[in-house]
Structure 1
């Protein structure tokens, strides 16, 4: 069953990925970029890369996991399932797997990295970072000083007032669109390129990715959208080549935040934009987003996570820490077998569709 590819920890996920990589008959390159910090169990952390197929292939499929660390359980499972089946690549086509873009977050079961940076908001020009005045208005309510009924009720009233005044879309943009002023807050894009961004940029140069004729990228995420549905989110500009390829390859599953057809609103600093700039009109980047619950529940578990991150040891009861951590884990990687089976099945389907699309170019 596909659920066997879901591992209980980053350490085990990495171990299983490396074991599967070691026996690939068409492996032509492998790399591990070691993170300067250790993981939650004292284990080494790394961005692991695996290249299958010809190194000089003109067409390439990239599959990324753990851009948001804790979401790596699903992405790693898809990659492991892929490596554990007979894989025939089309002619002149290669496959690049990037396992654990944010290994620190994966190991510590947080969406952000060791500096509190959301990697998927980090790809901006830091000489002139985007502004998000809405987040500043909501910052204290989003990460309250106390996590009790009275404090949460007061904070929620402020959030709801903003939503009623400005509308649902403006509210979601303020909260999740990306912000660069509150390091302790949600969806913080940082003040400089993160470790993960630097590694990706270095890999792209080393592997000559900008010289490829066509590149498809699938970035596996969880936590937003309809339960067990893998939404194919395309943040390319409307009517661009990337959108045309996505719709041709993935069909009606494709949604576009810029057109309001997605569960996601437009965001700042997405990792997508790195690929868009690297390969203008020669790439198709999609976020494969597996839904787990409502947007309100997503915001709730993230607020709790950031609340805990601001507290010193002993300030929060072990029972509350355990409760909030369990809620976070269950939101981003539900334990239900049916959800996990759906992730692997749909993940492999989208990979097959991408390879077929590349082959037909």
Structure 2
């Protein structure tokens, strides 16, 4: 059977919940305080298979960047349909659906506050500074988005990128900024709802974990359909080494080897503080879609729409479609490639955790 991406958050959520209930998973839903674009209920949904006292746990997360949840949700539902009955006894598997449900519903990467959830997990007593972003903030998100403004600001940004170099330009634009709340890759002014939820509930949903594997599902960077495993650790760190032991090739965002720039406030980087007594092996699994220029243009258009335009007006549908195309390819071949890669990554994590359990029994 050919699988397709769902077209709305509500449909994707229903598919995930039905798949979870069919497998006999324990399901808990945590409603978001705001409604979705179509008035629908929004929630973080958690499906769990395995005993709460299991010491080996695999956590699979979708929708950290809302619109990227279309692919992440499809992969989670596929796993429930096809792999849940092969879960090793003693392994607890937790599927967290839509960490950022507002962005998922509205077709945005960001949340209800225009905050990038994956830049929000910082030490708020020591907020990172990104002065380079301020120099180009008005070029990235101008007050007008007509053809003339797009051409002028895009040309100016390309000039800046040429002077700074592609790596430094990516870091300035996407590494995280905390001074321009209507801009892109904004990390917020304090912990947002998804962040607070994680602090309150993560320890509960991973139960008695002593060893935790985490796969955070993302799209939008890298070659079409290629799934790169990205570590928030630097080379040589124990977490990086565990990742390579589990999966083979893992790329560090801090050493210039990844499609991702080094980030401020990514939630995987906060796990050691959230779960201080747990050995965590984590990676973001990033699937490529379109070229990086198209991705940037879609984010600029979306930020303009919500800062200066009308998110429910005539221009909104075309911009939402532009954003979706940058993060979710509706071609069946794209999803088939993602499933194959995700199947391997999840399988390797299951094997690593199961081998860990076996070694303790010898």
Q: 1:221 to 1:129 in 2, by over 3 A?
A: same
Q: Which residue of 2 aligns with 1:256?
A: 252
Q: Which residue of 1 aligns with 2:135?
A: 137
For 1:1-361, list aligned pairs within 5 A.
1-4=1-4, 6-25=5-24, 27=25, 29-87=26-84, 88-207=86-205, 212-252=209-249, 254-279=250-275, 282-313=279-310, 318=314, 320-361=315-356
If the length of structure 1 is used for normalisation, what is the TM-score?
0.93
May I ask how many residue pairs the two structures share in their alignment? Answer: 354
Q: 1:240 to 1:323 in 2, by over 3 A?
A: same
Give, in whole Å, the separation in 1 of the partners of 2:19 and 2:312: 42
Give, in whole Å, the separation in 2 of the partners of 1:267 and 1:76: 24
- Unmatched segments (≥5 aa) in structure 2: 357-362
1:278, CA displacement in angstroms?
3.1
Residues 65-116 of structure 1: CA deviation (Å, up to 9, x unaligned): 0000000000000110011124222343200110000001101111100111
* 65-74 vs 235-244, which moves further: 235-244
Q: 1:205 to 1:312 in 2, by over 3 A?
A: same
Give, in whole Å, the separation in 2 of the partners of 1:38 and 1:17: 19
Give, in whole Å, the separation in 1 of the partners of 2:46 and 2:231: 24
Aligned-residue CA RMSD in angstroms?
1.8
Q: 1:315 to 1:71 in 2, by over 3 A?
A: closer
Residues 154-190 of structure 1: CA deviation (Å, up to 9, x unaligned): 2123212322222221111110000001110000001
Residues 235-292 of structure 1: CA deviation (Å, up to 9, x unaligned): 123212221121122113x211212111111110001112132346711111111101
Give, in whole Å, the separation in 2 of the partners of 1:215 and 1:175: 32
Residues 307-357 of structure 1: CA deviation (Å, up to 9, x unaligned): 1112344997x2x43332222111111111111111122112211111011
Give, in whole Å, the separation in 2 of the partners of 1:58 and 1:295: 40
Does the 8 Å contact 1:169/1:265 carry over to 2? Answer: yes
Does the 8 Å contact 1:2/1:340 carry over to 2? Answer: no
Give, in whole Å, the separation in 2 of the partners of 1:186 and 1:127: 22
Give, in whole Å, the separation in 1 of the partners of 2:317 and 2:12: 22
Does the 8 Å contact 1:224/1:289 carry over to 2? Answer: yes
Give, in whole Å, the separation in 2 of the partners of 1:66 and 1:206: 20
Give, in whole Å, the separation in 1 of the partners of 2:200 and 2:165: 41
Q: Which residue of 1 aligns with 2:360?
A: none
Does the 8 Å contact 2:21/2:27 carry over to 1? Answer: no
